[in-house]
Amino acid sequence: MATVKIEPGMESMVDVYIYETTQLLEQLDEILLRTEQANTFTDNDINEIFRIMHTVKGSSAMMGFENLQQLSHKGEDMFFIIRENPDKMQDIAFVYDLVFRMSDLFKAEIEKIQNVPDAELTDFSDIISELEKGAATLKGDVDAGIAGEKADKAKKDAEGNAAAIANASSNTTVDGALSVRVFFQEGCKMENLRSFLLLNKIREEAEVIDFVPKNVDTDSSTAEVIINDGFLVTFKAQNNETVLRLIENAVNVESFDIIDTAFVAPTHSEENTKAAPKSDIAKPSTAVAAKSESAPAPSQHISGGNADKSSAPPPEASNVSAPGKQSIISVNLAKLDQLHDIVGEIITTESMVISNPELDGLKLESFLKSARELKKLTGELQDTVMSIRMVPLAGPFQKMNRIVRDMKVKLGKDAELKIEGETTEVDKSIVDNLNDPLMHLVRNCMDHGIEDSVQERLDAGKPAKGTVTLAATSSSGEVIITVSDDGGGIDTEKVLHKCEYQGLLTKPAGEYTEREIQNMILLPGFSTNDVVTEYSGRGVGMDVVKQNIEKCGGTLTVDSKHHQGTTFTIKIPLTLAIIEGMEIQVFDTTLTVPISCIRESFKVKNSEIFRDTTHGEMIMIRGECHPILRLHEKFQIPTEITDFEDGILILVETDVRSVCLFADRLIGEQQVVVKPFPAYLSRYNIKGAGLSGCTIMGDGSISLILDVANLMDGSF
């Protein structure tokens, strides 16, 4: 097979191709999953699938990925038969398996193109052969003459294309329509497919009335016609100038001619049908603006691509897009990351300026007023940048439908996936890191959780169909994702025995709590399967899941009840970089506590403190007892303030626990930019000790950021 050759300057086109094709394949999977569950195809479903395969085939051919073009073409053939002969279908279960496999191979090839320079294109001969057999099976007793009729029709269309172009200019035009003949750059190749892609872009902005030559997506012979005579398209739009700009800026468009400008409805008077001056028509913006100049005008040639665009005046803001239409652009994530980092540096610099020790004691009312305004603006800038990066969890959640579907078929288990809270939003970088962990957890629920026997479920008083639930909620600056099943739960005796056999225990078996035993399934090398299968048994997976979640600042815990089910809980921050923090001091060390975890801070008297045999020092606040954690003891910081009356207590809480932190004093609230610890410190389990990162203070010093949840787990 040939290798992937990306010409210099085409990198951005490849990125767009990968993004758009991936989105289309995800859309294809969603339609197939829905129709398989309903056990029927509607006309809209078939047309949508056909459109997806059509578009993927055209864009793959344009990029030179011939193997992907052939693969999508064979998939398109299957749905052409389904679309044309729905009454001939009896059992189409095999279609789903074939198309799902085709989709997986397509995604894998795209990933290789994206990540492996000069990769060799994969030979899809085997799956193409199976798709051809599937198409033949679908045909059944369909008239074998269809293929011949299609060939004859294509030949007639090709013969009539040149004549159609020659006659197009003399045909009666549609009121309000505009006809444009497009010429592509010499030597760009596949002019027919480029015309097809351009046609799809025009359809996004306008109603396409006619185009010549026909069948540009399926008939390669039309490329020669387009080279000689151009691609003629007639459209009707609310804003013709927008479409002309689109054509002018399209890839590989050399130039285009405006054939006619029939802008006026039939009710207008004859005075308004005079020919538009050439000087007006030569400029798209002028021609579009002069809507009263409606009669057909002589063809005017307009350069595209590298043409000088300065001759045309800029369009008015109100005419840039159609009324009520939202403008959306795709932005490379690396650019958003860079913008995000710059905002973080701005916040750090702002803190350094406002908190400069040289300003202490000076009366600078004007400066302080400006500083408050600057803080407000940087806060708004931060919120805007964060909102740009926030995306819903619907994407990774919906992908899990495919995992459940495939395992249901291969394992012979009847189960369904329930999704809750998919509109919850998190940072884009976190979403990217969640795909693999969620996949492993859902697989674990299907493979180990849901019972193999339906009778076993019925005997336990459960419905015959198992349920895997994927849910998300946001709380206190973090997102909580749960993956649960209603299966048999974790057999703690079996887990403990297996860990003992594999030498994974660090203390006598009798000293482990049930919760600790359940979380042993997250240990590296642990597996309860004695036989290696496609989904489990190798002792890798769950520990990798935990590591990947911890990389994005999250935690993973396991909670299971025997014969009732298992729940995996993931807690991750909404965003990774900038948080609102409360600065506190312990001797000469500055610590940062996330504001989202703080309930209140207060002074106490020694008489209010009492002790118990379990948690040591405690305090009663409005009828609730809270343990006290002395930060100087926890982090072994020497300090002169050990008396409660000299320091301050900060009550912090998570979803299930609360604790009072004892510090020397409060410094104040401040936005901080979270900086991760160096990689070489990871072997010391700093996060487990209760620290999530560090930040640079206004005076240039370093402040350690507390991880409240892990701080509690490691202290009590």
Pick from 99, 106, 94, 97: which is nearest to 69 by CA?
106
Grade residue 483 by pLDDT with cuts at 50, 70 and 90.
Answer: very high
Do residues 354 and 369 touch, judged by C-beta distance below 8 A?
no
Residue 660 confidence (pLDDT): 93
Grade residue 468 by pLDDT with cuts at 50, 70 and 90.
Answer: very high
Pick from 353, 350, 352, 355: which is nearest to 380 by CA?
350
Residue 326 confidence (pLDDT): 45
What angle (nearest 5°) sits at the alpha carbon of residue 337, between those of residues 386 and 381?
A: 35
Phi then psi for 634, rounded to 5 degrees? -60, -45
**Whole-number average pLDDT of the chain:** 76
Structural domains in the chain, sorted by start: 11-142 (1.20.120.160), 159-309 (3.30.70.1110), 333-391 (1.10.287.560), 393-573 (3.30.565.10), 578-713 (2.40.50.180)
Tens-digit pLDDT profile for residues 8-41? 556 667 777 888 888 888 888 888 888 887 777 7
- The residues that bridge with 256 in the sheet, in sequence order, are 182, 302
Grade residue 260 by pLDDT with cuts at 50, 70 and 90.
Answer: low
Instruction: Using DSSP bridges, classify how beta strands 578-586 and 565-573 pair: parallel, antiparallel or unpaired.
Output: unpaired
What angle (nearest 5°) sits at the alpha carbon of residue 72, between those of residues 200 and 208?
A: 15
Exposure string of 423-433, with b = 16+ CB inside 10 Å and e = fewer, is ebbbbbbbbeb
* Count of Cβ atoms closer than 10 Å to residue 675 Cβ: 16
- Mean pLDDT confidence for 558-586: 83
Residue 576 confidence (pLDDT): 58
Tens-digit pLDDT profile for residues 434-453? 888 888 899 889 888 898 88
pLDDT surpasses 80 at 166: no
Enter the tokens of residue 590.
């500055």
Show the beta-strand stretches assigned E in 262-411: 300-303, 390-392
Comparing 665 with 219, which gets the higher pLDDT? 665
Tens-digit pLDDT profile for residues 375-385? 888 888 878 88
Q: From CA 30, how far away is CA 672, in angstroms rounded?
A: 41
Q: From CA 223, how far away is CA 77, in angstroms rounded?
A: 22
Residue 548 confidence (pLDDT): 80
pLDDT surpasses 90 at 622: no
Pick from 349, 339, 331, 563: which is nearest to 449 by CA?
563
Residue 477 confidence (pLDDT): 63
pLDDT surpasses 80 at 163: no
Comparing 14 with 107, which gets the higher pLDDT? 107
Pick from 581, 579, 582: which is nearest to 649 by CA?
582
- Mean pLDDT confidence for 519-539: 62
Q: Which amino acid, one-letter code, is at 140?
A: G
Comparing 296 with 362, which gets the higher pLDDT? 362
pLDDT surpasses 60 at 565: yes
What angle (nearest 5°) sits at the alpha carbon of residue 440, between those of residues 439 and 446?
A: 90
Grade residue 289 by pLDDT with cuts at 50, 70 and 90.
Answer: very low
Residue 325 confidence (pLDDT): 42
Residue 575 confidence (pLDDT): 63
pLDDT surpasses 70 at 306: no
- Mean pLDDT confidence for 265-275: 35
Q: From CA 595, how far away is CA 583, in angstroms rounded?
A: 10
Grade residue 283 by pLDDT with cuts at 50, 70 and 90.
Answer: very low
Comparing 581 with 528, which gets the higher pLDDT? 581
Tens-digit pLDDT profile for residues 629-663? 999 998 999 888 989 999 999 999 876 678 999 99
Q: Cis peptide before 213, with omega less than 30 degrees from 0?
A: yes
Grade residue 116 by pLDDT with cuts at 50, 70 and 90.
Answer: confident
Grade residue 471 by pLDDT with cuts at 50, 70 and 90.
Answer: very high
What angle (nearest 5°) sits at the alpha carbon of residue 434, between those of residues 488 and 115?
A: 130
Residue 663 confidence (pLDDT): 93
Residue 713 confidence (pLDDT): 74
- Mean pLDDT confidence for 315-340: 59
pLDDT surpasses 70 at 126: yes
Cβ-based neighbours of 624, under 8 Å, separated by 6 or more = 658
Pick from 73, 72, 113, 59: which is nearest to 251 by CA?
59
- Mean pLDDT confidence for 464-470: 91
Q: Which of 285-294, 298-307, 600-609 is modeled with the greatest confidence?
A: 600-609
pLDDT surpasses 80 at 174: no
Q: Which amino acid, one-letter code, is at 454?
A: V
Q: From CA 685, how far away is CA 710, in angstroms rounded?
A: 11
Q: From CA 118, how far away is CA 93, in angstroms rounded?
A: 37
CA atoms in the 13 A half-sphere facing the CB of 657: 13
Residue 298 confidence (pLDDT): 41
Grade residue 91 by pLDDT with cuts at 50, 70 and 90.
Answer: low
Residue 482 confidence (pLDDT): 92
Residue 648 confidence (pLDDT): 93
- The residues that bridge with 628 in the sheet, in sequence order, are 660
Tens-digit pLDDT profile for residues 57-76? 878 877 778 888 888 888 88
Sheet with 253-261, side-by-side order of all strands = 207-212, 231-236, 178-184, 253-261, 300-303
Q: Which amino acid, one-letter code, is at 218?
A: T
Grade residue 584 by pLDDT with cuts at 50, 70 and 90.
Answer: very high
Do residues 448 and 541 touch, judged by C-beta distance below 8 A?
no
Share of the chain above pLDDT 90, in %: 8
- Mean pLDDT confidence for 601-621: 86
DSSP string over 424-445: -EEEHHHHHHHHHHHHHHHHHI
- Mean pLDDT confidence for 105-122: 80
Enter the tokens of residue 378.
């940087």
Cβ-based neighbours of 437, under 8 Å, separated by 6 or more = 545, 548, 549, 556, 570
DSSP 275: B
pLDDT surpasses 60 at 303: no
Comparing 112 with 89, which gets the higher pLDDT? 112
Q: From CA 346, how far away is CA 382, in angstroms rounded?
A: 10
Q: How far is CA 405 from CA 30, 217, 401, 440, 450, in A?
A: 11, 33, 6, 14, 14
Q: From CA 251, how far away is CA 198, in angstroms rounded?
A: 9
Phi then psi for 704, rounded to 5 degrees? -85, 135
Helices marked H in 116-190 — which ranges? 125-139, 145-168
